Amino acid sequence: MSIAQIQRNIKRFFESPPRNVNRRVLLALVVVIIFILYIFLASLSTPPSTPSEVCVIDHFDKHAGKQVDPTKTIVSFIGNGYIGMDVSAKSELMLISNDTMFQPLKGLKPLVKLSLPFDNDVVLHFEPDPVDGMSKAVHCSVVEEKCVCVYEYVYAHRTRSNLLVQDIKITNPSLSALSIKFDRGISEEWEKQELTTVPVYYRTLDIQNQKIGVAVICSSLPNDIVVHQKREESFRFMCVVEQGVISVDSFATKRQLSAKAIQEFTEINSLHWNQVDTEHKDAWKDLNRASFNISYSKAPNALNSDIVGLTKFALLSSVRAPLLEKTTTQITKDHYKELMSKNELCYQGHSTLLTPSKLWQEWTSLDDVQNTIKIWMLTLKHRGCMHLVESGAHGIVQAFLLSLSAATFTHHHLEFSLDPADDLHRELHSRRFLPRKHRFYFI
């Protein structure tokens, strides 16, 4: 076909009446235009991720199979009912009392902070991990087109309630060496005692109209280091916290608490690091055996399993687990087991899955987490679950599961007041309900 023929065909196409134009061609053009507009509008609403953000996104996708938004603020609360902390905010250590009251230890920020050469171009993202019972954080920057990252794992030990553990790993795949400095925030309000090679910090606090002495001992900080090209370095830091009511002889209380902290710290340091981790993870594995899942819903403001899981994790992190803790005597364990067996008439009320509800909130601060925990505790107690709540983490997870499906143990029978298909149009799956004779129910 000659050029002249092509020109005549094009001219005939544009000069012909609309009815002669191929409708399929018009339809195809409309589809292409709509697709281009969709891509354009999507690019305006979702700004492209920076290279550092991509490093963080890729890490969680590869190692956790989880899609994260590095620009979103996450509250990452950890605890064990004795100590607690929001790792993502002030990182100020707190004492937790039996009524889930959080008492900040002012001036005590035991987590080690790193000074990095790329602090101005770093992306930091926190994610709570309810499975292993810890907070995971990733700090990344791009150096010479490589993801240079710091990985941080923090947890309040589940079976050694006075122990806080922080693991840090620095990876440097670039061709440049990185100079790293370490720091820890402990104010002068804490008395520094040089009793051993590692100092003990002590302070007197007023908590619930009582004078409380607190002794803290933490791992020493290393000197400034250099992470060479294509290398990685790992560090572990631990802190032991001891508290007690100050007696008439305040000096004797200080001496006793300091000696106890040193003894516990020495014992823990004699253990292999893997044993410390395994004890903690196995304890959370035991608590997570009682689980709940609800089919996913895309409806606006729908309650899904991720929110349920994080709320359960916050609840369990705010209470002691006497059946797991190493210092609990057998007599005390038997007492808590007896409390757990008193589950008749728990739970009485509407399902806690019904939304909207103050039981399910998005958290932007530690105050939000504390308020949610208080509302849950009051709800469970007022709905007939006071004995399960008093028994600690194992009892609370049972009460939590019963409340979701509005289930009640009556005369050793499990009765449900919620019909998932009719009331929620969803599917539910619960496992390890514990009735009085300690047989497990899988729903």
Burial 363-377 (b: 16+ CB within 10 A, else e): beebeebbebbeebb
What is the rounded average pLDDT of the residues 137-150?
90
Cα angle 166, 169, 173; round to 5:
165
Give me the pLDDT at residue 97, please: 79
- Give the Cα separation of 217 and 241 in Å (integer): 7
Q: Residue 119's CB: how many other CB atoms inside 10 A?
A: 10
Report helix, strand or coil for 405: coil
Burial 140-155 (b: 16+ CB within 10 A, else e): bbbbeebbbbbbbbbb
- Give the Cα separation of 382 and 359 in Å (integer): 14
Give me the pLDDT at residue 442, please: 45
Give me the pLDDT at residue 436, please: 46
Q: Examine the pLDDT at 424 and tell me if it is beyond 70.
A: no
Q: Examine the pLDDT at 262 and tell me if it is beyond 90.
A: yes
Cα angle 199, 201, 203; round to 5:
160
What is the rounded average pLDDT of the residues 32-44?
61
Q: Which two tokens stand for residue 102?
A: 């959080």
Give me the pLDDT at residue 152, please: 95
Going by pLDDT thresholds of 50, 70 and 90, the confidence category of residue 219 is very high
Question: Under 8 Å CB-to-CB from 196, ≥6 apart: which residues?
Answer: 262
- Give the Cα separation of 403 and 225 in Å (integer): 52
Of 158, 131, 98, 442, give the one whose Cα is nearest residue 323: 158
Going by pLDDT thresholds of 50, 70 and 90, the confidence category of residue 380 is very high
Report helix, strand or coil for 11: helix
What is the rounded average pLDDT of the residues 370-376?
95
- Give the Cα separation of 267 and 409 in Å (integer): 43
User: H or E segment at 239?
Assistant: strand 231-245
What is the rounded average pLDDT of the residues 308-335?
95
Give 119's DSSP letter. G
DSSP 191-234: EEE-SSSS-EEEEEEEETTEEEEEEEEEPPPPPPEEE-TTEEEE
Residue 402 half-sphere exposure, CB side, CA atoms within 13 Å? 31
pLDDT above 90 coverage of the chain, percent:
54
User: H or E segment at 140?
Assistant: strand 134-143
Helix boundaries (H) for 342-407: 366-380, 386-390, 393-404
Q: Which two tokens stand for residue 357?
A: 């509800």
pLDDT, mean over the chain: 85
What is the rounded average pLDDT of the residues 128-134?
94
Going by pLDDT thresholds of 50, 70 and 90, the confidence category of residue 15 is low
Q: Examine the pLDDT at 427 and tell me if it is beyond 90.
A: no
Q: Which two tokens stand for residue 209?
A: 């109209």
Q: Examine the pLDDT at 182 and tell me if it is beyond 90.
A: yes
Of 217, 214, 215, give the one whose Cα is nearest residue 205: 214
Going by pLDDT thresholds of 50, 70 and 90, the confidence category of residue 45 is very low
